[in-house]
Chains A and B, each alone.
Chain A
Amino acid sequence: MTGTTPKAAAARESLLDLLSSIKDPELPVVNIVELGIVRDIVVDGDSVQVDVTPTYSGCPAMQVIEQDIVQALEGDGFRTVKVRYVFSPPWTTDWLAESTKTKLREFGIAPPTGVETSGTADLVTLRRTRKTIDCPYCGSANTEERSEFGSTACKAIHYCNSCHQPFDYFKDF
């Protein structure tokens, strides 16, 4: 957020509050501000532009989120609402706050544990060390990865060997 005057900053804060009421349609416990995809809000009279960064290239939730943003801001009295996609720097799960991770865990989704995205050494070996993901239900570390691709682009499928419950892992990205 680029701050200008205290008044403009306050206006932006209140719009952020408004956008916090928009949930990710595929992840209804987390709102789009907590998810870290709202990057900037620029107000110019009765028009407003919201900069949004997509999570995954093909995430179908983005279209719904765009409509929700337009609807919320038009409802707030803006005549023109523009949603602009920005790609740099790319969105990362490292932007999720601890409080957001707690919400995910309480919802039954194991939160991301930190991204390692440099180098290619661990990319192509079956014997790579896999992270231990604690079960969001019973807390056990005795879990295993079933697939790095799950019910949505952002989730992987894991299984808990202690409470025998399959669970989603919000994968590091």
Chain B
Amino acid sequence: MTPASEVAENDLFEYLLRLGDDRLVLGHRLSEWCGHGPILEEDIALANISLDLIGQATLYLGLGGEMEGKGRDADALAYFREAVEFRNLQIVELPKGDFAFTIARQFLFDVYSLHQLEFLQKSANADLAGIASKGYKEVRYHVRHSSEWLQRLGDGTEESHNRAQKALDELWRFTGEMFEPDDVDNRLAEAGVVPDLESLEQKWRAMVSDVIQLATLSIPSDTFMLAGGRSGRHTEYLGHMLSEMQIVARSHPGASW
């Protein structure tokens, strides 16, 4: 086992970008519901979860910037990188779709995040562990929210059931990427800094299957999986989202209020 102190800062920077970008992009997508939620309570809930995710992203990107040592803070990383430099999973950048699509995506990501952060709380890197232990508590609330909604939608009316199943069918091919390790994952997992993706996948699959069954929905039989987000290959949607998210910071660099 490689001691945590010998882990390359470059690997840590790369992993922190993944953690930060997943949450930044998903948090931004979720914020698009603000003022458009199906009911008031839900509008508030989605905005709250979005705030948690963007808060978590700020912490991961901030620590990433310190690791990189080039003077970039969380804002510099969020607002002044191009789409090809983003390291998020493709699943989080897809347009928000209808409420069923949003809930199904949150659910698939929340369960991944829950088990990822559960491990990271005990990461061999103390700074990462500290940030993750806060996020873990937040994600427990997120999982409850999305899993309960998936059950209500799946086991609700014919319309809600069909929409929830359609959402799962569309999203499923984007889930493989969560568990496809590369050299960064392997080196960091070896040093006990990040979870091993194989055991993460087992935990994810068990919980996801349970809830899909409770929701009277079916796991898509599709086994074809897309990938590429971790190395900067994204869908056409990310660039459009970023141009909207980054325009104010880029039009007025250094502005504050």
Contact = CB atoms under 8 A, between A and B. Distances in A.
Interface string B15-26: 000000000000
Contact of A57 (B42, B55, B211): B55
B129 A150 contact: no
B210 A146 contact: no
B246 to A, nearest CB: 19
Contacts of B214: 124-126
Nearest to B62: A85
A126 B156 CA distance: 13
Interface string B100-116: 00000000000000100
Contacts of B51: 56, 58, 60, 153
Interface in A9-35: none
Nearest to A171: B141
Nearest to B50: A58
A90 B140 contact: no
B152 A56 contact: no
B48 A149 contact: yes
A37 to B, nearest CB: 12
Nearest to A157: B41
A124 B210 contact: yes
Interface residues of B, number: 38
A86 interface: yes
Given A57-B52, A57-B55, A147 B44 contact: yes
Contacts of A58: 51-56, 58
B49 A126 contact: no
Interface in B116-161: 126-127, 129-131, 133-135, 137-138, 140-141, 143-145, 147-148, 151-152
B134 A124 contact: no
Contacts of A90: 130, 133-134, 137
Nearest to A128: B144
B8 interface: no
Contacts of A88: 126, 129-130, 133
Contacts of B56: 57-58
B4 interface: no
Contact of B41 (A57, A92, A124, A146): A146
Interface in B32-80: 41-42, 44-45, 48-49, 51-56, 58-59
B207 interface: yes
Contacts of A149: 41, 44-45, 48-49, 141, 145
A126 B148 contact: yes
B48 A153 contact: yes
A52 to B, nearest CB: 13
A78 interface: no
A124 B147 contact: yes
Given A91-B134, A148-B45, A149-B44, 18 more contacts: A56-B134, A56-B138, A57-B135, A58-B58, A87-B59, A87-B127, A87-B131, A87-B134, A88-B126, A90-B130, A117-B140, A120-B114, A120-B207, A126-B151, A148-B145, A149-B41, A149-B141, A157-B41
12 contacts: A56-B52, A56-B138, A57-B56, A57-B58, A57-B59, A57-B138, A58-B55, A117-B140, A126-B214, A149-B45, A153-B51, A153-B52
User: Closest 3 interchain pairs by CB?
Assistant: A58-B55, A87-B130, A57-B55
Interface of B: 41-42, 44-45, 48-49, 51-56, 58-59, 114, 126-127, 129-131, 133-135, 137-138, 140-141, 143-145, 147-148, 151-152, 207, 210-211, 214
